[in-house]
A and B are shown apart, each in its own frame.
Chain A
Amino acid sequence: MSDSTHVTRNTQPAPRGPDEGRVSRLMMLLLLVAILAGVGLLVLYALGGQVQLEGILLFILLTGIGFAFILWGKYLFPTEIVTEDRGERPSPKAERAAAEQAYVEGESQITRRSALVRMLLGAFGALGLAAIFPIRSLGPSPGRSLFQTAWRTGIRAVDEAGNPVLASDLVVGSVLTVFPQGHVGSTDSVAILVRVDPSELQLPDGRNDDAPFGNVCYSKLCTHAGCPVGLYLAEFHQLQCPCHFSAFAVLKGAEPVFGPASRPLPQLPLGVDQEGYLVAKSDFTAPVGPGFWNRGSGA
Chain B
Amino acid sequence: MSAERARRASSVSAGRRAAGFALLFAAFMVPAGLAILAGTGSATAGAPPVTRLDAQTALEAAGQVLYEEHCASCHGATGQGTAQGPVILDLGPAAYDFMMSTGRMPLAQPGAQAVRKPPTLTPAEIQAITAYLVSLSPGSGTAIPDVQPLKGNLSQGEQIYQLNCAPCHGANGNGGAVGVEAAPSLHKATPTQIGEAVRIGPGTMPVFDQTVISDEQLNSLARYVLYLRHPANPGGISLHLGGPVVEGFVGLVIGLGAVVLVMRFIGERS
Contacts and interface: CB of A to CB of B under 8 A. Distances in A.
A262 interface: no
B48 interface: no
A95 B175 CA distance: 71
Nearest to B211: A169
Interface stretch (A23-31, A113-121, A171-179, A281-289): A171-179
Contacts of A230: 163-164, 166-168
Given A174-B212, A234-B205, A242 B167 contact: yes
Task: Report the interface size class on chain A.
Answer: 20 to 34
A174 B167 contact: no
A173 B201 contact: yes
A231 interface: yes
Contacts of B167: 228, 230-231, 242
A36 interface: no
A156 to B, nearest CB: 15
User: Looking at A171, A197, A238, which has the most chain B CB atoms within 10 Å of its CB?
Assistant: A171
A85 interface: no
Interface in B213-270: 234-236, 262, 265-266
A51 B178 contact: no
Contacts of A232: 206
Interface string A203-235: 000000000000000000000000010111111
A177 B234 contact: no
B179 interface: yes
B209 interface: yes
Given A231-B168, A245-B179, A170 B212 contact: yes
Residue among B164, B204, B206 having the largest count of chain A Cβ atoms under 10 Å: B206
Contacts of A258: 179
Interface of A: 51-52, 55, 70, 73-74, 159-160, 165-166, 169-177, 197, 228, 230-236, 238, 240, 242, 245, 247, 258
